[in-house]
């Protein structure tokens, strides 16, 4: 059986966060910091290799490498151009496939699937969960099914992403963007009760992936744009109603009313500008607040390691002190 360090975050991405060939790493479980070559972090020996009982093995690594080789020049072009104008339908689809694979193959996703298999066997010991016990142990069978699904169903995994709006977020403040060992971030402001609100195809989903220390690629559900447009239309109507009420006031508009109208108009103008950046220009500056939000998501979702170009993990350390449960990655909750 081969012994090869196989990455769940591609080395070509990690190199973008390097200075002089190495990047700084923060271990959120232990608080330790170290400096490393990309080939030695965010990967494991034979991570994508499944062992069979008769000393044979199945290696899925080349399938992941193929997607990486397609995505690498696309990311390089975006970093060079600093905008998305260079994208074509083909390169956009390549990014969607890369995101889908990145989501499926992460260490956190693998561990959650392992947790699920172990919990099923614990609760239902008589239920058959391994269809090929003569070839695989239970753990290796889980791994085999997971890798087989991630590679063979790539088109299905990527399909929900193609319809999303791609945006480029660019650092516009002091600080640096983190990249973790689970770099594809999923966030949703909508709530759907017990069904959950996180998933590649869930309405309202926001997906972010850092590609350099100052750039993040995002995919936004089109429903976000529809909600923003609706909110702007409602705000515009409210503003017109306020103007009409002030006009009808026989005593004329007092200064307080005029000041309020000005504030509402400015808020509406800012909302329109934000919509234009997101859904028309598709280029959004990352403010200090945005940076804290993105780095918080990286830290929280990381399986264990967070990387950065500069040795500055003050925010990560403070966040872990305030939220010690972030030391572990989000796991499935079993009732």
**Residue 225: is its pLDDT beyond 70?**
yes
Task: With cut-offs at 50, 70 and 90, classify the pLDDT of residue 27.
Answer: very high
Residue 334 has a pLDDT of: 53
Cβ neighbours of residue 305 closer than 8 Å, sequence gap 6 or more: 25, 26, 27, 28, 41, 42, 180, 181
Question: pLDDT over 90 for what percent of the chain?
Answer: 57
Is the pTM of the predicted complex or chain greater than 0.85? yes
Strands 283-286 and 165-171: parallel
**Residue 100: is its pLDDT beyond 70?**
yes
Within 10 angstroms of residue 135's Cβ, the number of other Cβ atoms is 17
Determine which of 57-61, 189-193, 270-274 has the lowest per-residue pLDDT on average.
270-274
Q: Which residue has the tokens 């890798």?
A: 147
Strands 43-45 and 49-51: unpaired
User: Contact, 305 vs 41, CB < 8 A?
Assistant: yes
- For 153-289, strand residue ranges (E) read 165-171, 179-180, 185-188, 205-212, 215-220, 283-286
Residue 190 has a pLDDT of: 84
Residue 257 has a pLDDT of: 61
Determine which of 63-67, 200-204, 264-268, 295-299 has the lowest per-residue pLDDT on average.
264-268
- Give me the mean pLDDT over the 321-335 stretch: 80
User: Contact, 189 vs 227, CB < 8 A?
Assistant: no
Rounded CA-CA distance 266/279 in Å is 20
Rounded CA-CA distance 121/100 in Å is 28
């Amino acid at each position: 059986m081969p012994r090869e360090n196989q990455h769940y975050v591609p080395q070509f991405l990690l190199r973008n966060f390097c200075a002089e060939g190495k990047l700084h790493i923060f271990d959120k479980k232990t608080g330790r910091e170290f400096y490393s070559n990309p080939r030695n972090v965010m990967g494991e020996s034979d991570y994508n290799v499944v062992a069979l009982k008769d000393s044979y093995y199945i290696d899925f690594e080349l399938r992941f490498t193929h997607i990486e080789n397609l995505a690498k020049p696309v990311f390089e072009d975006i970093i060079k151009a600093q905008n998305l104008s260079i994208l074509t339908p083909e390169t956009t689809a390549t990014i969607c496939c890369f995101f889908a694979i990145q989501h499926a193959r992460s260490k956190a996703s693998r561990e959650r699937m392992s947790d699920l298999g172990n919990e099923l066997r614990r609760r239902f010991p008589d239920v058959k969960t391994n269809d090929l016990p003569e070839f695989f142990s239970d753990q290796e069978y889980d791994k085999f099914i997971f890798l087989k699904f991630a590679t063979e169903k790539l088109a299905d995994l990527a399909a929900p992403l193609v319809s999303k709006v791609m945006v480029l977020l660019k650092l516009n403040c002091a600080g640096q963007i983190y990249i973790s060992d689970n770099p594809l971030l999923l966030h949703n402001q909508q709530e759907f009760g017990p069904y959950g609100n996180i998933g590649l195809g869930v309405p309202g989903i926001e997906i972010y992936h850092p590609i350099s220390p100052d750039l993040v690629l995002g995919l936004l559900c089109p429903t976000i744009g529809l909600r923003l447009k609706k909110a702007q239309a409602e705000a515009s109507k409210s503003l017109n109603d306020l103007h009409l009420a002030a006009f009808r006031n026989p005593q004329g508009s007092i200064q307080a009313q005029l000041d309020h109208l000005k504030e509402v108009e400015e808020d509406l103008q800012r909302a329109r500008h934000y919509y234009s950046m997101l859904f028309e220009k598709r280029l959004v500056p990352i403010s200090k607040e945005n940076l804290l939000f993105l780095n918080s998501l990286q830290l929280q979702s990381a399986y264990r390691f967070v990387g950065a170009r500069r040795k500055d993990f003050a925010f990560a350390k403070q966040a872990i002190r305030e939220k010690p449960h972030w030391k572990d990655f989000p796991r499935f909750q079993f009732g």
